[in-house]
């Protein structure tokens, strides 16, 4: 078994040969059941050649929740709960050997089963001073979940908060599960509005529910709570992805400022980001004669103050210590900082925030000019909104969107309209359907100027037609309802445009296109199957999802069936795999077709 102690300090030497010493393990550990405090922290500063050798004080000591010793195992009372409680046939077992929890068995999908879980009995645990759980695990390459119960209740019942972690086959690794990533659910129903309270933990658990039948095996050495209270430098070193950045900060003499009171915000390039630079660039920048140039580059990654992702998106830029701003926005569904993709955001340190990026930022020479025209003029100039503009004209809304405003328009591209059956578009453009066309188009318009950051902060917005839009980040993509926002914050004289990749469907907006529910399903399957068979499972899932959303808003569909389809949509929202999501939605459509085709 590996040493029980958490790392207390790391002495890192940055020499011309990039030689480094490994972390010093500490045999002492703080344990929830047997609490010990080790105050041995160290900070050393060495000089060798022209490089800096730095020893940083680690972040606040981890709290060991359990080492799985016999006394703790008896106190926590780990027990298996399989899908047999719902008629499934999965079988899991738990055992303890040499201080290691062993959770294994067989996952079965028969009888609507598909999960095996492990949980403690009722307990009380206050981890409000910590940022999340850390575990040393060895698995089978499958994705498991941590599940925690707090004092949150839904309809008087216990809410389960979960977050996934991946394992590597037959290899011990440490995994972190930030409390900020835990999302609530109850009996499969997503409860994203529920907030996890780490001060009121009442149960700990693990679960396998990846919908892959077969044997499974997970070993857990220990579970700890880790702190997020270290400085930006502490947090970066503990993370393990920023060794080159740490070397650069040392060479540029910027470590001390980043360990100060702050607050500061750092756009932190990973080691892989530095590896993208031309060969020899990093070595050259680390030389003493290039210190000024290195400082300028690193300061271009630092912003004064604590600027979270939503704030940065709201302003569209952030002023750096180098003097020039970085641009923050969306493109193709991803958050970009200049041309670098944001891979992790809002990592909280005691003196600020870290946003993780995949490319080193270099101060730009020039900034791109912003568009100056009204919404319709900008859309015409773009050239990929011909169908939208034709619909605006048919609905007699040109004078409105060309007026003073301000308005925020979520604009589907021509490609988005192409995903809708041709006869649906043709029917909506007929004069007798003008009111429904207006309803559809005004569902894409919000009164006022709403930036991407504002939308993300508000999480919802009322449209001009009285409907509601929901905003969220899913799989790293910014979405409005089920549509991905490809480009954000296109400035216009009378508002702003956000470009989306599919049409937003308000309740009953498509109904008057004279397409029966059965025909809607047929059309969706005709379009979805080729996409799936050619490997574009995400497109297939989206086509099926949009059809389900239309059916749930169609009064011609019986309420009982609409409730079932809504449940399928909620369940699909919890699935990361587009392939599995497509299969789930297809099963729901097949069920709906059998029902509506008989009516």
Please, what's the largest Cα pairwise distance for the chain? Answer: 84
Residues 464 and 561 in one domain: no
Residue pair 251/286 in contact by the 8 Å Cβ criterion: yes
Q: Look at residue 311 and tell me if it is in a domain.
A: yes
- How many Cα atoms within 13 Å fall on the side-chain side of residue 48? 13
Residues 120 and 140 in one domain: yes
Residues 488 and 524 in one domain: no
Residues 197 and 85 in one domain: yes
Q: Look at residue 73 and tell me if it is in a domain.
A: no
Is the backbone peptide bond immediately before 263 cis, with ω within 30 degrees of 0? yes
Q: Look at residue 72 and tell me if it is in a domain.
A: no
Backbone angles phi, psi at 377, to 5 degrees: -65, -40
Residues 194 and 287 in one domain: no
Residue pair 123/201 in contact by the 8 Å Cβ criterion: yes
Angle between helix axes 232-239 and 243-251 (nearest 10 degrees) is: 140
Residues 207 and 95 in one domain: yes
Residues 143 and 177 in one domain: yes
Residue pair 471/480 in contact by the 8 Å Cβ criterion: yes
Each of the 599 residues of the chain gets a pLDDT tens digit; together they read: 333 333 322 222 222 223 333 333 333 333 433 332 232 232 222 222 222 223 233 334 678 999 999 999 999 999 999 877 667 899 999 999 999 999 999 999 888 778 899 999 999 999 877 878 999 999 999 999 999 999 888 878 889 999 999 999 999 999 988 887 788 888 778 887 777 888 899 999 999 998 899 999 999 999 999 876 567 777 777 677 888 888 888 788 777 777 776 788 889 999 888 888 888 888 888 888 888 888 888 888 988 888 888 878 877 888 888 778 888 887 767 788 888 888 888 888 777 888 899 889 888 753 344 444 788 888 887 778 888 988 888 888 888 887 878 999 999 988 888 877 777 778 778 887 787 888 888 889 998 988 887 888 888 888 888 888 888 877 667 888 878 888 777 888 888 888 888 888 765 444 444 567 888 888 788 888 888 888 888 888 888 888 888 788 777 888 889 888 988 888 887 887 888 888 899 999 988 888 887 76
Residues 486 and 523 in one domain: no
Angle between helix axes 386-394 and 375-382 (nearest 10 degrees) is: 140
CB neighbour class for 197 (10 Å; exposed up to 12, middle 13-18, buried from 19): middle
Q: Look at residue 172 and tell me if it is in a domain.
A: yes
The domain tally of the chain equals: 4
Residue pair 206/117 in contact by the 8 Å Cβ criterion: yes
Domain termination site, one of 297, 322, 357: 357
Residues 6+ apart with CB under 8 A from 539: 419, 528, 531
Domain termination site, one of 500, 531, 558: 500
Residues 96 and 193 in one domain: yes
pLDDT at 232: 79
Q: How far apart are CA 202 and CA 155, in angstroms?
A: 18
Question: Measured between alpha carbons, how far is residue 43 from residues 54, 58, 531, 553 in Å?
Answer: 8, 9, 57, 62
Q: How far apart are CA 131 and CA 225, in angstroms?
A: 7
- DSSP H helices, 499-556, are 517-533, 537-552
Domain termination site, one of 325, 357, 389: 357
Q: Look at residue 4 and tell me if it is in a domain.
A: no
DSSP string over 307-354? --HHHHHHHSEEEBTTSSEEEEEEETTEEEETTEEEEEEEEEETTEEE
Q: Look at residue 68 and tell me if it is in a domain.
A: no
Backbone angles phi, psi at 330, to 5 degrees: -110, 145
Residues 328 and 389 in one domain: no
**How many Cβ atoms sit within 10 Å of the Cβ of residue 325?**
17
Residues 6+ apart with CB under 8 A from 192: 183, 184, 472
For the chain, report the end-to-end CA distance as a whole number of angstroms. 64
CATH number at residue 21: 2.30.180.10
Q: Look up the domain containing 145 and give its range.
A: 79-226
Residues 488 and 554 in one domain: no
Residues 151 and 280 in one domain: no
Nearest to 176 by CA among 194, 160, 163, 192: 163
Nearest to 417 by CA among 406, 407, 428, 409: 428
Task: Please give the distance of CA 509 from its chain centroid, rounded to a whole number.
Answer: 31
């Amino acid at each position: 078994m590996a040493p029980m102690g958490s790392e207390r300090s790391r002495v890192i030497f940055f020499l011309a040969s990039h030689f480094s010493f490994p972390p010093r393990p500490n045999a002492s550990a703080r344990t929830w059941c047997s609490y010990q405090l080790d105050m041995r922290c160290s900070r050393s500063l060495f000089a060798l050649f022209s490089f800096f050798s730095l020893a940083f004080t680690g972040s606040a000591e981890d709290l060991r929740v359990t080492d799985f010793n016999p006394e703790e195992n008896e106190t926590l009372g780990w027990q298996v709960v399989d899908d047999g409680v719902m008629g499934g046939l999965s079988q899991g077992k738990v055992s303890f050997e040499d201080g290691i929890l062993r959770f294994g068995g067989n996952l079965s999908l028969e009888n609507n089963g598909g999960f095996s879980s492990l949980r403690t009995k009722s307990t009380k645990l206050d981890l409000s001073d910590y940022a999340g759980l850390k575990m040393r695990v060895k698995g089978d390459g499958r994705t498991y979940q941590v599940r925690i119960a707090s004092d949150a209740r839904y309809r008087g019942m216990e809410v389960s908060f979960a977050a996934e972690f991946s394992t590597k086959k037959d290899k011990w690794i440490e995994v972190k599960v930030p409390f900020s990533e835990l999302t609530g659910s109850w009996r499969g129903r997503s409860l994203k509005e529920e907030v996890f309270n780490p001060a009121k933990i009442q149960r700990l658990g693990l679960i396998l529910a990846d919908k892959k039948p077969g044997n499974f095996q997970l070993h857990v050495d220990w579970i700890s709570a880790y702190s997020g209270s270290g400085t930006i430098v502490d947090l970066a070193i503990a993370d393990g992805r920023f060794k080159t950045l740490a070397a650069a900060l040392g060479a540029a003499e910027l470590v001390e400022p980043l360990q100060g009171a702050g607050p500061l915000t750092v756009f932190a390039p990973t080691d892989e980001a530095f590896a993208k630079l031309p060969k020899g660039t990093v070595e050259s920048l680390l030389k003493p004669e290039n210190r000024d140039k290195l400082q300028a580059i690193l300061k271009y990654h630092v912003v004064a103050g604590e600027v979270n992702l939503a704030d940065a998106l709201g302003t569209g830029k952030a002023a750096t210590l180098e003097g020039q701003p970085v641009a923050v926005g969306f493109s193709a569904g991803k958050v970009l900082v200049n041309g670098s993709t944001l891979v992790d955001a809002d990592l909280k340190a005691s003196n600020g925030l870290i946003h993780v990026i995949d490319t080193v930022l270099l101060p730009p020479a020039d900034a791109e000019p912003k568009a100056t025209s009204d919404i319709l003029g900008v859309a015409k100039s773009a050239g990929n909104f011909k169908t939208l503009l034709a619909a605006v004209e048919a609905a007699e809304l040109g004078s409105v969107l060309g007026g003073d405003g301000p308005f925020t328009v979520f604009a589907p591209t021509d490609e988005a309209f192409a995903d809708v059956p041709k006869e649906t578009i043709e029917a909506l453009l007929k004069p007798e359907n003008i009111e429904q066309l207006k309803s559809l188009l005004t569902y894409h318009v919000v009164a006022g100027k709403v930036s991407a950051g504002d939308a993300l902060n508000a999480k919802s917005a009322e449209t001009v037609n009285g409907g509601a839009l929901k905003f969220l980040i899913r799989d790293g993509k910014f979405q409005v309802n089920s549509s991905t926002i490809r480009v954000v914050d296109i400035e216009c004289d009378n508002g702003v445009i956000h470009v989306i990749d599919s049409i937003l469907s308000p309740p009953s907006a498509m109904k008057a296109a004279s397409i029966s529910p059965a025909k809607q399903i047929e059309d969706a399957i005709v379009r979805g199957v080729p996409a799936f068979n050619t490997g574009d499972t995400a497109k297939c899932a989206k086509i099926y999802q949009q059809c389900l959303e239309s059916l749930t808003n169609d009064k011609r569909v019986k309420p009982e069936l609409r409730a079932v389809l809504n449940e399928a949509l909620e369940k699909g929202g919890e699935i990361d795999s587009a392939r599995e999501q497509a299969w789930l939605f297809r099963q729901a459509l097949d069920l709906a077709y059998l029902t509506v085709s008989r009516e």
